[in-house]
């Protein structure tokens, strides 16, 4: 098997192949022959499905450190990498050096987290992480400006970073079969995002109203859950109740006459410094704590009525899916509600999902 592997890699180098298939070879380690010498700088697609890989650390560290930049550079034209059906638990940070990568598939592995360096993959269009052990996704993923298809089905996700709502090119998002209890307030605000699948997240009871009139899958959501099973802030209206994202600090109501001082201050700061917030480095390090600067850069969400940025408090309004024209598409397979997150009592009172 080792000689066959060596021959396959040597032939690919010699003939400058663009595709290299190393599937079903019972590999336990990343083959360092791929990184030695030259010849694979023309490689665009690498397939390593159905092996026994447990880590890609070899790709980063087991080869001579002095040659690391050259080693990664030898795969500089790689556009597609398929590592499905292995036993991977980690991805090394140097995955971010594959600057030309467009399609990355790591389904059916044992990944517990992704390195933030994945945000350096500016050309990445497809990312499939189905059937792993991920509990959350890195915030830096929003820097993958070309990402169009993100699939994270059958993981252990409990939350989704609100930063992912900044993925301007994202067209399809699938997170079915996880442990989600809430979704980011701005999910669906992007016009480009048209397909969202969150089926079989039994604790999920609320969908941001931005998702109304989009193609959504939510079968198996909204099942009754004991209160002790989640510590998230909840909003109840009549017999309906939904969990809110952990970042929400307070829930407003139609009886409120004024906004909290902290929310007013953050909205004023955001309006005054919005032109500078794209680059936090230009802000004085003593002006505000970095955590507040990051919140100003990426607000909790935007009002579903007037688009006002919100930072600590929201005014929610529920619209049961079963009472909307979309009810027929789901035929009673879900008990979720659309949630309109508003910025004030005025917007709360005037917002109408169906108008």
Query: What does the domain layout of the chain look like in residue ranges?
Result: 2-156, 250-350
pLDDT of 103 reads 96
Helix (H) or strand (E) holding 329: helix 327-330
Residue 223 CA to residue 25 CA, distance in Å, equals 43
Give residue 237's pLDDT: 79
Low-confidence spans in the chain with pLDDT less than 70:
1-2, 35-39, 55-74, 224-231, 275-287, 327-333
The pair of three-digit structure tokens given for residue 126, joined into one six-digit string = 């497809």
Nearest residue to 184 via CA among 206, 203, 201: 206
pLDDT score at 70: 40
Q: Which architecture does CATH list for 2-156? A: Alpha-Beta Horseshoe (3.80)
Model pLDDT, residue 218:
93
Coil vs helix vs strand at 23: coil
DSSP state of 18: S
pTM value > 0.85:
yes
pLDDT at 275: 63
pLDDT in tens, 13-37: 887 888 888 888 888 877 777 766 6
Contact 314, 235 (CB under 8 A): no
| Token pair belonging to 95 | 């995955």
Q: Is 45 exposed, middle or buried (0-12, 13-18, 19+ CB in 10 A)?
A: middle
pLDDT of residue 211: 96
Q: How high is the pLDDT of residue 287?
A: 67
């Amino acid at each position: 098997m080792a000689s066959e592997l060596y021959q396959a890699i040597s032939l690919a180098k010699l003939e400058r192949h663009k595709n290299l298939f190393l599937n079903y070879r019972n590999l336990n380690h990343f083959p360092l022959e791929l990184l030695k010498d030259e010849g694979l700088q023309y490689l665009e697609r690498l397939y390593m499905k159905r092996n026994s890989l447990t880590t890609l650390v070899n790709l980063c560290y087991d080869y001579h450190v002095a040659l690391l930049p050259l080693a990664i550079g030898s795969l500089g034209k790689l556009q597609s990498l398929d590592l499905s059906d292995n036993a991977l638990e980690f991805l090394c940070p140097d995955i971010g050096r594959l600057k030309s990568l467009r399609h990355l598939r790591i389904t059916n592995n044992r990944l517990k987290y992704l390195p933030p360096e994945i945000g350096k993959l500016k050309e990445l269009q497809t990312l499939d992480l189905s059937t792993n052990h991920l509990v959350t996704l890195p915030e830096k993923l929003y820097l993958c400006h070309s990402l169009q298809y993100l699939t994270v089905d059958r993981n252990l996700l409990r939350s989704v970073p609100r930063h992912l709502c900044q993925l301007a090119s994202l067209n399809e998002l699938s997170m079915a079969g996880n442990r989600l209890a809430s979704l980011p307030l701005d999910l669906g605000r992007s016009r480009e995002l048209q397909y969202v699948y969150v089926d079989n997240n039994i604790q999920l009871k609320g969908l941001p109203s931005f998702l109304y009139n989009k193609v959504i899958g939510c079968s198996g959501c909204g099942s009754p859950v004991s209160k002790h099973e989640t510590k998230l802030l909840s909003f109840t209206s009549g017999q309906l109740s939904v969990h809110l994202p952990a970042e929400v600090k307070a829930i407003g109501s139609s009886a409120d006459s004024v906004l909290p001082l902290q929310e007013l201050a953050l909205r004023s700061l955001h309006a005054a410094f919005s032109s500078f917030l794209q680059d936090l480095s230009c802000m004085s390090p003593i002006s505000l704590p970095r955590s507040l600067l990051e919140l100003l850069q990426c607000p909790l969400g935007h009002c579903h009525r007037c688009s006002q940025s919100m930072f600590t408090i929201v005014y929610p309004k529920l619209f049961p899916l079963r009472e909307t024209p979309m009810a027929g598409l789901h035929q009673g397979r879900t008990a979720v509600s659309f949630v309109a997150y508003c910025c004030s009592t005025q917007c709360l009172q005037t917002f109408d999902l169906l108008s």
